[in-house]
Each structure stands twice: as structure tokens, then as C-alpha cells.
Amino acid sequence: MKRKLLISILLLLGLVTGVFLAQTQSRGTDFHEGALADRTVYTFNPYTILDSLGTENSDLFIPAPAEPDEGWPLIASPGTFGWDERDYLRVANALHQRVWGEPLDNWKLIYAYYKISQCTDIVDNVDSVAISFYRRVNGLDNVHGFWLQPLKGIATAGYGYNSDIGKAIDLDNMKVNNLNSALMISEGVGGKEVRTMLKDSDCYVSALFAPYVLHGYFNSFDWGWRIYYGHNFGMEIDPYTAKYTIIVQ
């Protein structure tokens, strides 16, 4: 009898754990550009757009033709433009104004993914960004997202809905609330050494900032950074405390 009870308890615990892990793994796809519906692709001139923002130029974003079978071609090499996250926010704001007729002033960040496609000079040198924002309307969280690729002169905008955004962002109480501060930590605990060891053609740096990065079996999801140096080195950073955990080495 006791053995049957023990087996039943173990099976129940296994089921609960399995459901939790399935939810954990699925949270990572809720907010990124690829999960958004009704996406529209635009072309833009990455060489001039930053200088053109705030002007009366209405042709900053032009609906793109059909994507070539081989994908959008590169029009510049990694590191060409030297954009930082503030530059991408300015472009996203202008595209939001173009698509939805309003700025992002009343929208909150819910997802940001940065990719640096070279390893020689990574500070303020982001090559592409996927970023999403949300605002609650009629009980649902409207999500507007963008995928900005200046190396291809391509910008994608889309929307989605979600009733369970998770923990709202609280940048004012975060010690690590921007990409440069996260990279400063990762560079200082092994990232810089990894970059010098890898061939530049094989090296990239990615940084995810999202509300589901930090979690535990019995803890709620929370905001965090997840940074990778190619497939060779990675870590998670708690933005509130600046504590980190090496996850790939």
C-alpha cells in the first residue's frame, strides 16, 4: 500500500514538473518578432535614416517587394553602422509612427534581442534587433514588435495579443538596465577572452532581455539578461542585483 502511494506521489510530481517545464520552454516564443501576426516588411536606407528621423520625410520606410528565395541580401558588412540600442529605439519609434500613427511613448518594453555579428568591436555596434512593446487595451495586452536589420536595409513590423505578459519592466530599480551594462559584466567574466580566441567569421554576440529569463521550479518568471558568445560561452544576468550565472563554457 505504501509502495503504491509512493509511486502515485512520484508520478504526480513528475506530471507537475513536466507541465511546468513545458510552460517554461514555451514562454520564450510569446513576444519576439517571429510570433507576431500580420507582419509587414519595409525597406529603408540605413546610411541616412538616423539623420532623417524627425524631418518631414515620409518615405523613410517603403513596403518591400516579395522576399527573394535566397533571402534578403546583405548591403553592408557587420559593424558598418555603429548603432547602439538608442538608435534602434529611435528607428522603432519612427516605424511605429508610420504603421500605427502614434509614437511609443505609452508602450512598455516586453522583449529585446540584440545581435552583434562580429567580435572585434562590440560596444555600441549592434547589427540587428528584434524588439517588442505592449499596452493593455480592453483586458488584453496588445503587442507591437519590430525586427530591424540595417545590414539588409529591412524592417519588419507586426502585432499580437497576449493576456499574460508576465512581470512588467521596472527599469528604474534595475542595476543592469541597458545593453552596455550587461556586456560590461559578460566581458569582465570571460566574454572578452572568448572573443579573442574565436575566428571573427565564426563569432557573434547575442543578448536577450525578457521577462521570462530568470526562473526556478517554484519561482515566478522575472526579467533577466541571457548573453551568448557564439556557442562557446554564455550567461544569465539578474538585472536587479547584477549577479550572473555561467550557463555555457
pLDDT tens across 142-181, in order?
899 999 999 999 999 999 877 666 778 899 999 999 999 9
pLDDT band (50, 70, 90) for residue 203? confident
pLDDT at 6 over 50: no
Average pLDDT over residues 208-212: 91
Spatial contact of 111 and 166, defined as CB atoms under 8 Å apart: no
Encoded amino acid at 147, one letter: W
Q: What is the pLDDT of residues 38-61, one digit of tens each?
A: 889 999 999 999 999 987 667 899
Q: Name the pTM for this structure.
A: 0.85
Q: How many beta carbons lie within 10 A of that of residue 71, not counting itself?
A: 9
Instruction: Output the nine-digit C-alpha cell for 13.
Output: 510530481
Which residues are within 8 A (CB) of 188 and not within 5 positions of it... i.e. 6 or more apart?
none
- Would you state the pLDDT for residue 199? 72
- pLDDT digits over 22-42, tens only? 343 334 434 454 467 888 999
The predicted pLDDT at position 104 comes to: 95
